[in-house]
Structure 1
């Protein structure tokens, strides 16, 4: 009989490339992972790992076993979800990865509601860029991710994931107060061609999106400063060092010396929760999605379809979708 935890250890080594990386993900020591693998080798009568320089590589037998382990672990997760759904109780633990402004603008209120309504549910949150968080959900490191896409650049959804709309988040332009266009009721991005810009780190989804958005209006981006936190970006705007595209969700206090101007052709991002198909029936998934929607800014309600499958997201998670109005 194959031991599930030993299969999980082998699968983690295959996924993350080393015993030490697998130990980090599984929150155990490298010695514990090595012991599990040694027991699995005795259990199967097959050599599973071979030395490869300073690391290890999987044998053909291990590769075969990993393919089965993926299906077995997926079935176990589906069984656990079905049992939770049958019981109907929101209990246990759920891990959520979320991008920074969702952590600031949604998670505190959502966590308060979950603690009040479902005291037996433990929610653990970690801040992650959407490009990193979705692979973490696919691999099973996290149960859910809160991610974003923009109205001019839809989010590709990996196979095996479902998503539910949380809210829509409009963005404005933050300009130095002495900028020639700072007093306008609305401006077009084309009018800012040639201006310096401030964005987040070069490998982030936000920086990539800003470059493509500016190029789409024939404005070659001059991103002169790369700072992750919006508060720091706004401090640079106030000092006159560039402009920032500033979403409204989780917006920090705007310092003196900064003018916030709406865009004539609005840019908005949609905020989603994503989770694995195997976990779709978990009451905890539905509870977290419900709490996130309740934490979003109030606005009009309406159903949204899952962009990949065409299924009604509201039906999938058991609650209606609330989409705040543009303003």
Structure 2
């Protein structure tokens, strides 16, 4: 039994003919008859009866029609509740992000939303998962800040909407005074022989170190595996190793480092927002998306690599 069938039965009781019901609902008489036949198959008692050229409801049909009014009214109320919920600009939005994005974006987004009247209420969380784990987070959060390497497989499209934010370079991070800091850019062969601090397996920096090993046909000496970029920066600044860090979202951690672009391989990652399709109907979610886009654009605009020191 479907809502449309109950609506047709109700109109038939009011209008008395299939033709009139079809005209009222802007469908064909054949479509009305098919829906009535499908509804009748669910009941033993006849729901309609012929009276000359007209079709009227039996007592069983009248009983179902009256009960159907309550169903139609409840569905209409539910739809209205959803419409009101979607239109409320100050609704609660659950946003999660991986660590570097959270550190770079959460505070500025809160500040940006404070400038708005009836701003959404943010519930923030950080999630440190490997690339393939981000789509599953959309079941728990309204918006998921996710990253993947530019050359990796796209996000799954089933029950998931993807909103691109930025394509972020991952740069080679060197301690101040390192000989390679004098160069404007670095090739895989320049860095393959260095000691490395990188992430755990399954995360972008480790994937790039693997790519460096592949294109140079060399074994890379990984001496530390740390996922937090602040800790990575501390290790690099000490002079014990070099690493890869994201250019825009590394934040203040780059203050003690020299960043240089890596050529010869695609050293960048996409930062996207993942969400369930129904969330995009909510005004509060759209407001947070706009704030994230604005903050990210401002972050990119403000980020410049310092020039190399003269030889």
> What TM-score do the two structures reach when normalised by structure 2?
0.62
SS at 1:278 equivalent: helix
- Paired position in structure 2 for 1:237: 236
Q: Distance in 2 between matches of 1:79 and 1:277?
A: 17
- Paired position in structure 1 for 2:158: 159
* Cα displacement (A) at 1:160: 0.8
- Paired position in structure 2 for 1:46: none
- Paired position in structure 2 for 1:247: 246
Q: In 2 relative to 1, CA 114–126 (structure 1 residues): closer, same or farther, beyond 3 Å?
A: same
Q: Distance in 2 between matches of 1:80 and 1:324?
A: 44
Aligned partner of 2:215 among 200, 217, 228: 217
* Cα displacement (A) at 1:116: 2.8
* Cα displacement (A) at 1:299: 9.0
Q: Does residue 269 in structure 1 map to residue 269 in structure 2? A: yes
Contact 1:129 1:205 in 2 (8 A): no
* Cα displacement (A) at 1:196: 1.8
The aligned runs of 1:71-220 (5 Å cut-off) are: 83-84=83-84, 88-131=87-130, 132-137=133-138, 140-157=139-156, 159-200=158-199, 202-218=200-216, 219-220=218-219
Contact 1:199 1:206 in 2 (8 A): no
SS at 1:246 equivalent: strand
Contact 2:113 2:291 in 1 (8 A): yes
* Cα displacement (A) at 1:189: 1.8
Contact 1:215 1:221 in 2 (8 A): yes
SS at 1:297 equivalent: helix
Structure 1 unmatched ranges of 5 or more: 1-74, 301-322
Q: In 2 relative to 1, CA 292–84 (structure 1 residues): closer, same or farther, beyond 3 Å?
A: farther
RMSD (CA atoms): 3.2
Contact 1:237 1:244 in 2 (8 A): yes
Q: In 2 relative to 1, CA 297–231 (structure 1 residues): closer, same or farther, beyond 3 Å?
A: same
Q: Deviations over 1:25-58 (max 9, x none)?
A: xxxxxxxxxxxxxxxxxxxxxxxxxxxxxxxxxx
Contact 1:168 1:271 in 2 (8 A): yes
Q: Distance in 1 between matches of 2:97 and 2:144?
A: 6
Q: In 2 relative to 1, CA 279–297 (structure 1 residues): closer, same or farther, beyond 3 Å?
A: closer
Q: Does residue 290 in structure 1 map to residue 298 in structure 2? A: no
Q: Distance in 2 between matches of 1:291 and 1:142?
A: 17
Q: Distance in 1 between matches of 2:119 and 2:80?
A: 17
- Paired position in structure 2 for 1:60: none
Contact 2:248 2:299 in 1 (8 A): no
Q: Deviations over 1:221-253 (max 9, x none)?
A: 322101222222122112222111111223224
* Cα displacement (A) at 1:130: 4.8
Structure number having the greater helix percentage: 2
Q: In 2 relative to 1, CA 185–159 (structure 1 residues): closer, same or farther, beyond 3 Å?
A: same
* Cα displacement (A) at 1:255: 4.9
Q: Distance in 1 between matches of 2:112 and 2:136?
A: 28
Contact 1:166 1:289 in 2 (8 A): no
Q: Distance in 2 between matches of 1:79 and 1:215?
A: 56
